[in-house]
Amino acid sequence: MMKIFRTAAVAVLAVFTLSLCGCVNYVDLADRAIVQAIGIDYLPDRKVYRISMQYFNQSSEGGQNQIDKTQDNVLKSVGEGDNVFSAAKNASLLTGKDLLLSENRLIIIGRELRKYDLEQTIEFFIGNFHSHPQAYVAAAENTAEELLDIRFKEGSTSSQRLSDLIRNAASEGRCVYSYPYRVMTILCTGTRSAFLPLLKTAELKTDVTIPKEGDDSGKSGGEEQSEDGETTIILDGGVIFKDGVELSQVNADTSTAVFFMTGRPSEYSFTVPLEKYAKPSITLNDITRSVTAKEKDGKVTFDISLKASGKIGSRGNIKEGDPDAVNVVTKAAENELRRMIKDSVIPVAGKGCDVFGLENTLCRCCNKFYTENKDRIGEIIADSDYNVSVAIDIFSLGLNTA
């Protein structure tokens, strides 16, 4: 009897618990704007923040195909306000939909906004626990809205291509995975530095071959070349920040150097400038770094050491069985990588910007000196010396193509 009573009690409790979801505010999925990408700009003439959001066009989905290509896969909503939060709220009001940020994969920061504290901008996404923590943060060459106006038909949504662009570049070792928490991790250091990958618009030239219309006799009129231009978005270098605001734009090499110094690149390919062997390409794997610091009479020297295994991706003129090839290519590759790291680190660190995590190294290796000079860490990094050593092991992975 007791057993029956207990079973009934559990059943009643289960039904009651399951129906509790009806007691809270409920918004139908169709009434939500599933945000895919957010662009934030600052309009200095009107002193307002402008948020542009690409959200999923639910009417483009359905039927037998997953995606209806005849319709735009995303819609855009724009809102303005005195801060990021109110701009987002206004965008929601104009759309008439509840914003769902948990699927957002990209946050683009416009040029004007980068003149103001980056931390305050990103804080909106960090503080909003529903926001997707692994959305990429990127900088726009001009306005963020301009980038979101360019639509792509690839992928389930237009913004997927942009986030894929950053993800792919990161997996190739070209730029860091710029998740908000990673940006914040560097931004929380003494110099309040940060690095964001830079997205630019570009004209994509494509040659199209068009068959000429034939004459009345039915003969083909041959073929003619025509050039067609398409606006696309490319990833080109990045933007570095100091004291929370933009310091300067940097090239692709610096972008790679930031990743080498702060992350764990899984792969990186580059061309070795070697005349004799006609510039073979090397693909590095298993890349590890070690950064140490030593201090003498108030002068700090950072020793940066990189180790990697490599494969020759493109052989150039290297003949199979060439006994000197390994050594010559290795040496040239090491020199090239050393040059790249040195040319990237010294100018940026010289400005007192710490996107390479040098403060952390100083804290680790010269803690007493760091504690005493915490307040002038930017100056110390700017005045420091940098030694770079690179060791690439091509032999262990073989000379065959990667």
Partner 1 sequence: MSRISNRQLVIAFLACRLSAEMTTIPGEMFRYGTDRFIVILLAKLVVALLYLPVIAVTLKFRGDSVITATMRRNKAFGITAGVIMSVLLTMTAVQTVLSLQHYVTDTLLNNIVTVSGIAGITAAAVYGAAKGLSAVTRSSVFAAVIFGLLIFLIGVTMWDKTEPDHLYFSLANDRTYFFKSLISEISMNSEILIFAVITDELRRKPHRTVLYYLPILLILLELLNLLYNLILGPYMSKVEYPLYIIASLSDIVLFQRLDGIDAIVWLMCGIIKTALLIYCIGRIYAVCSKKPRTKLALTVTGFLVFMLCIILGSDAGIYDRMTDVMNSGIHILLGGVVVPLIVLAAGRKKQSRRVKKNDENI
Residues near partner 1 (CB under 8 A) are 24-25, 126, 129-130, 133-134, 179, 181, 184-186, 188-189, 264, 291, 357, 360-361, 363-364, 367, 371
How near is the Cβ of 75 to partner 1 at its closest, in Å? 25
Helix axis angle, 84-95 relative to 118-127, nearest 10°?
50
Phi, psi (deg, nearest 5) at residue 327: -65, -45
How near is the Cβ of 185 to partner 1 at its closest, in Å? 4
How near is the Cβ of 288 to partner 1 at its closest, in Å? 11
Q: 202, 233 in Cβ contact below 8 A?
A: yes
Identity of the residue, 5 or 65, whose beta carbon is nearer to partner 1 in the bound complex: 5
Q: 297, 385 in Cβ contact below 8 A?
A: no
Identity of the residue, 270 or 369, whose beta carbon is nearer to partner 1 in the bound complex: 369
Three-state secondary-structure class, residue 273: coil
Identify which of 230, 255, 35, 262 has the alpha carbon closest to the alpha carbon of residue 139.
255
Identity of the residue, 103 or 393, whose beta carbon is nearer to partner 1 in the bound complex: 103
Q: 101, 69 in Cβ contact below 8 A?
A: no
Q: What does the CA dihedral 134, 105, 96, 143 come to, rounded to 10 degrees?
A: 120
Extract long-range pairs of 253-256: CB within 8 Å, 24+ residues apart. Answer: 253/340, 253/343, 253/344, 254/344, 254/348, 255/174, 255/175, 255/176, 255/195, 255/197, 256/173, 256/174, 256/175, 256/340, 256/344
Identity of the residue, 270 or 370, whose beta carbon is nearer to partner 1 in the bound complex: 370
Identity of the residue, 46 or 368, whose beta carbon is nearer to partner 1 in the bound complex: 368
Identity of the residue, 40 or 293, whose beta carbon is nearer to partner 1 in the bound complex: 293
C-alpha span between 23 and 13 (Å, rounded): 15
Identify which of 112, 239, 249, 107 has the alpha carbon closest to the alpha carbon of residue 181.
107
How near is the Cβ of 135 to partner 1 at its closest, in Å? 11
User: How far does Cα 3 stand from its chain's mean position?
Assistant: 59
Other CB atoms closer than 10 Å to residue 399's CB: what's the count?
16
How far CA 110 is from CA of 198, 200, 212, 393, in Å, comes to: 10, 11, 45, 42
How near is the Cβ of 222 to partner 1 at its closest, in Å? 52
How near is the Cβ of 203 to partner 1 at its closest, in Å? 34
Identity of the residue, 129 or 213, whose beta carbon is nearer to partner 1 in the bound complex: 129
> In one letter, which amino acid is 274?
L
How near is the Cβ of 151 to partner 1 at its closest, in Å? 26
How near is the Cβ of 186 to partner 1 at its closest, in Å? 8
Identity of the residue, 83 or 288, whose beta carbon is nearer to partner 1 in the bound complex: 288
Place of tokens 């999923």: 56
How near is the Cβ of 16 to partner 1 at its closest, in Å? 13
- Per DSSP (E only), the strands in 279-357 are 281-296, 299-314
Evaluated on CA atoms 163, 43, 186, 270, the torsion sign reads positive
Identity of the residue, 130 or 276, whose beta carbon is nearer to partner 1 in the bound complex: 130
Identity of the residue, 25 or 209, whose beta carbon is nearer to partner 1 in the bound complex: 25
How near is the Cβ of 134 to partner 1 at its closest, in Å? 5
